[in-house]
Amino acid sequence: EPEVTQTPSHQVTQMGQEVILRCVPISNHLYFYWYRQILGQKVEFLVSFYNNEISEKSEIFDDQFSVERPDGSNFTLKIRSTKLEDSAMYFCASSEQGPRNTEAFFGQGTRLTVV
Amino acid sequence: SQELEQSPQSLIVQEGKNLTINCTSSKTLYGLYWYKQKYGEGLIFLMMLQKGGEEKSHEKITAKLDEKKQQSSLHITASQPSHAGIYLCGADSGNQFYFGTGTSLTVIP
């Protein structure tokens, strides 16, 4: 069964360093998303991406964050200069159509720990 | 603002018991999604409800959406330890999905 895959599963980084979280969405999906979940808190929307551009972003998704689809399969989230408060589980998701028409499928997440 | 309220926040039940989780929105929803999250893992899609009054079932889990499309309930019949996890209701706002705070379910064998 097709699935969204994320790498790495766990990343530890020093404050101020850049990190890139990688995702391979389901192959025929056109919409891509990043979410984060701080330990014990709700799943928060970061950004949605369609047709090679950002569709929507939240207040959390500031200038430190960027997304890219560098080739036909990968979808990445870059955090330029990590802060302690960026420590969270980051989930990538994809959907075949837009959110009004279909469900999103989520990856297993990347646990980011900033020290 | 887009808010989904879930109740209860946590639930502990004996194996074999039935249970219900509720999700309420202050706005009429276009669609309502239920996901399950095992601790420290990703979200697993359970069901999507789009029509007022719609009801869907999968194995022992039944989800309903009210006629006004503002409230949904998730009902588990004869709960098993495999049902344990966090249940999240979600909705869409055009370009994104957003989620409730979750209901943590523990099933005691």
**pLDDT value for A72:** 79
> At CB < 8 Å, which residues of chain A contact B?
4, 33, 42-43, 45, 48, 50, 55-56, 58, 89, 91, 93, 98-100, 102-109, 111
* Residue B15 confidence (pLDDT): 98
In terms of phi and psi (left: phi > 0; alpha: psi -120 to 50; beta: otherwise), the region of B78 is left
Would you call B31 and A100 a contact, using CB atoms and an 8 Å cutoff? yes
What pLDDT does A81 receive?
95
Can you tell me the distance from the alpha carbon of B108 to that of A14, in angstroms, rounded to the nearest whole number? Answer: 40
What are the angstrom distances between the C-alpha of A101 and each of A3, A96, B91? 19, 9, 11
Q: Which residues of B touch A55 (CB under 8 A)?
A: 95-96
Burial A66-77 (b: 16+ CB within 10 A, else e): ebebeeeeebeb
Helices (H), ranges, A39-78:
none
Q: Nearest chain B Cα to A108, which residue?
A: B42
Task: For residue A9, count other CB atoms closer than 10 A to its CB.
Answer: 10
Q: B108 — alpha (psi -120 to 50), left (phi > 0) or beta? A: beta
Chain B CB contacts of A4 below 8 Å: 42
Low-confidence ranges of chain A (pLDDT < 50): none
Across the interface, do A91 and B43 touch by the CB < 8 Å criterion?
yes
Residue with structure tokens 């530890």?
A: A12
**What's the whole-number average pLDDT of chain B?**
94
Angle at A26 between CA A22 and CA A28, to 5 degrees: 130
Confidence of residue B1 (pLDDT cuts 50, 70, 90): low
The dihedrals phi and psi of B3, each to the nearest 5 degrees, come to -130, 140
pLDDT of residue B104 exceeding 80, the answer is: yes
Predicted confidence at residue A98, as pLDDT, reads 85
- Contact yes or no for B97 and A98 at CB 8 A: no
- Strand intervals (E) in B1-109: 4-7, 10-14, 19-25, 32-37, 43-49, 55-58, 61-65, 71-76, 85-92, 97-99, 103-108
Q: Do B43 and A42 touch (CB under 8 A)?
A: no
Other beta carbons within 10 angstroms of residue A14's beta carbon come to 8
Q: How many residue contacts between A and B have a Cβ separation below 8 Å?
A: 60
Compute the nearest-CA separation of B79 from chain A (Å): 24
pLDDT tens, position by position, B38-74: 988 899 999 999 999 999 999 999 999 999 999 999 9
pLDDT beyond 90 at B24: yes
What's the N-to-C CA distance of chain A in angstroms?
A: 36
Q: Which amino acid is at A21?
A: L
Compute the distance between CA of residue A33 and CA of residue A109 in angstroms, rounded to an integer.
12
- pLDDT tens for A82-115 read 999 999 999 999 999 888 878 999 999 999 999 9
A32, closest residue in chain B (CA to CA) = B96
What region, left, alpha or beta, does residue B57 occupy, with left being phi > 0 and alpha being psi -120 to 50 degrees? beta
